[in-house]
Every structure is written in C-alpha cells, then in structure tokens.
Amino acid sequence: MKINEKRAESGMGVVAVLMLVLSLLAPAVVAEDADGDWLYEVKLNDTIWDICKNYVADKQCWRKLVEYNQIKTPKYLPPESIVRIPKEWLKPSLAQALVIAVEGEVKVSRDGEEGDRDVNVGDKLSQLDVITARNGSAMIKFADDSRLLLKPNSAVRMQGLRYYQRGGIADTQIRLLRGRVKANVEKLKGLGSRFDIATPAAVAAVRGTEFRVGLEQQDGKSIMVTELLEGALQLENDQGSQSLKAGEALRAVEGQQLQQPVALLPRPRLDFSSAEEVVLPYQLQWFAVDGASAYKVSLRKEGLLLWEETTTDEGFEIDLPDDGEYEVQVAAVDAQGFEGKGRRLRMAAGTD
C-alpha cells in the first residue's frame, strides 16, 4: 500500500499526505451568575407569572422569584432587565447521549436490567447507564454536542444527563469508574450549563475545553490525572479547588489537598529529513523532547481511537489497517506520567 506524496507545510521535505495539524481551538468561557443562576433577559410585555409558567415547576414560583430578585413592581418588568432563576428551580427533562462511533468490544449495563449488552452506533444512553470499553473504544455525543472518547479498558457512568430546554441549559455529569477518557466540550451556550467529570479524588468542571482525565489506584487511594489541552478547567475536591490553564496538568489524590499544576511537555517535532516516498509500513521519526521519559503514539479514524502504544524510542512503525484517512498523534510523556501536547499528522492510504 502506497501513500500519495504531498509537501509538508513546515518545509521539512516532501511527505505523502502527512499534514501537520497545527491549528488550536480557542479557549471558550461562558459568563454566568456568581451563584450559577440562569440569567433571563426580560422581553417586552413579560410578566413574572409568564416567566414562572414557562420556566419554573414550583407553583409558588412567582412569590419566590419576586423575593429572590427583590422585584418591587411584579406587574411591570422593564424590558432588557435581568431576572435571576436558580437552576434547580427550572423545569428539567432527562436527556440522552448518543453513541456515534464504536471500535472493538464495548458494553453497556442499564439501571434495573440484568447483565450487559453490546454497544452499537446509534444507541442512546440514559442516566445511570454504565459503558465499559474492554478491548475497544467509543465516541459519545451529548445534548450540547460535546463529545467523550472512552479509551480501551475504561468505564464511565452517565451520572446525570439533564437538559433544560427552555433555558438551553445542558447539565452533564460523568462518573469515571476506571481508565482514561478524552473530552471535547463545546462552548456551553446556556448560562448555568455545566459538564463535569467526577472521580473519588476530584471533580473536573469545564466550560468549553479539550482535556483528558485518567483514574488510577495507588496504596488504596484513587488518583485523578487531568491534562488540559485547551480552554478552562476547574478541579475541586473536599479539600479545596484549583484552576488549570491550557497546557497544564494536575494529579489529584483522594483525601489530599490539590497541588499546584505542572506544565505539559511540548509537542514533539517530527523528523521528515529522510522521507522522499512513503510506503507502508512507514517508520515515523521525531526529535527528542527534553524531560520526556517515553512517547505515546496513537492512531485514530474519524476521531475514534483504533490503537495507542507507548515507546521509549524516537520513532515508531506506522501501518494502516485499511484504505481511508487516518490521524496519527505523537505526544511526549514526562516522569510523572503526564501526557503532553500531541503532534498530529494525517495519513491517507488507497487514494490516487
């Protein structure tokens, strides 16, 4: 199998359909009330009773909302003024997540049902469902279009899936039971929206970002490993909280105060100096990264993880399982086990 040639954008030589993916997602932060309230902007002719009828389940809403907002003239609400509504007062509806890709063996067990069954593309996941990737992986999409990649030997529980349609608020809570996941969280459009990944060691609360979370066990304690690639992230546990910036990582230990974040290793620089014609299998080379103790190489197709390997060498033999377009990623791993930023390239096989 041969790959068509194309010149690399970086000027490192002629390379077959190997395009470095250098674009980064811009951080996205959603403004919200300090108390996490949904902020409703009053429209012309709105009344407090209309707002309660449309958005709040409590029959005493109008009294509570007037008091909560200290509204002096409930019969007249000035257009463009703001009414604060606690998120827990809003009318919720249970949401479902959608399985959009599956590779290998992935199972789901549902609350109230015995045993488990295979997960297939198009399956809908409900609150409290447990999804386990054994020798496989799965991509899950949520109500706000955020996505979660479940890596091999990992399991998650859909702890909370709620969507407040009136307010456009998505409330997604994932419980990582074991292994590693990667999340791409869309900018949370509804004020008060949230996307949380929880472990016994800490909770990662995000507001539009790309990050990885892993769960380990050491000396009887849970350890949560979080690597933030883009956006904003807040880690919290019973001992306090810690903010992470893009390009930082943190290891949270159950029952211990959160430590200061550390910087992720930079992307490896690929070595194409000897590449004139690429024939599979291809020996991919890169330059050593200061501080790296190993390198993680992964292969994806349409965003789904096909395999992931670790090597101590500055090179790895790449082969493609079938015709099509693929993405290879190489990342440096430091002595603490933090996976750094990945260098991505695309490979295509079977095309003219």
Q: Tell me the domain boundaries of the chain.
A: 6-25+266-349, 38-85, 93-263
d(CA 341, CA 348): 23
Instruction: Select the more confidently predicted residue: 73 or 138.
Output: 138
Nearest in space to 206 (alpha carbons), one of 240, 254, 171: 171
Taking residues 302-330, what's their average pLDDT? 93
pLDDT tens digits for 109-159?
998 888 999 999 999 999 999 999 998 999 999 988 899 999 999 999 999
**CB neighbour class for 47 (10 Å; exposed up to 12, middle 13-18, buried from 19):** middle
Q: Give me the pLDDT at residue 225, please.
A: 96
> 93-263: which CATH topology?
Jelly Rolls (2.60.120)
Nearest in space to 129 (alpha carbons), one of 93, 105, 161: 161
Q: 41 to each of 226, 265, 269, how far by Cα in Å?
A: 36, 44, 49
Q: Give me the pLDDT at residue 234, please.
A: 92
Put residue 349 in one of left, alpha, beta given phi > 0 → left and psi -120 to 50 → alpha. Answer: beta
**CATH 2.60.40.10 at 6-25+266-349, yes or no:** yes
Query: Do 6-25+266-349 and 38-85 share a fold?
Result: no
Over 60: is that where the pLDDT of 15 sits?
A: no
Over 80: is that where the pLDDT of 94 sits?
A: no
**CATH 3.30.450.70 at 38-85, yes or no:** no
Distant-in-sequence, close-in-space partners of 253: CB < 8 Å, separation ≥ 6: 201, 221, 222, 223
Tokens of 298: 């992964």
Q: Please list the residues that pair with 93 across neighbouring strands.
A: 163
* Sign of the torsion angle spanned by Cα atoms 215, 217, 218, 220: positive
d(CA 147, CA 138): 10
pLDDT tens digits for 218-269?
999 999 999 999 988 999 999 999 999 999 999 999 999 999 999 999 999 9
CB 296 within 8 Å of CB 309: yes
Q: Give me the pLDDT at residue 107, please.
A: 97
Instruction: Select the more confidently predicted residue: 134 or 274.
Output: 134
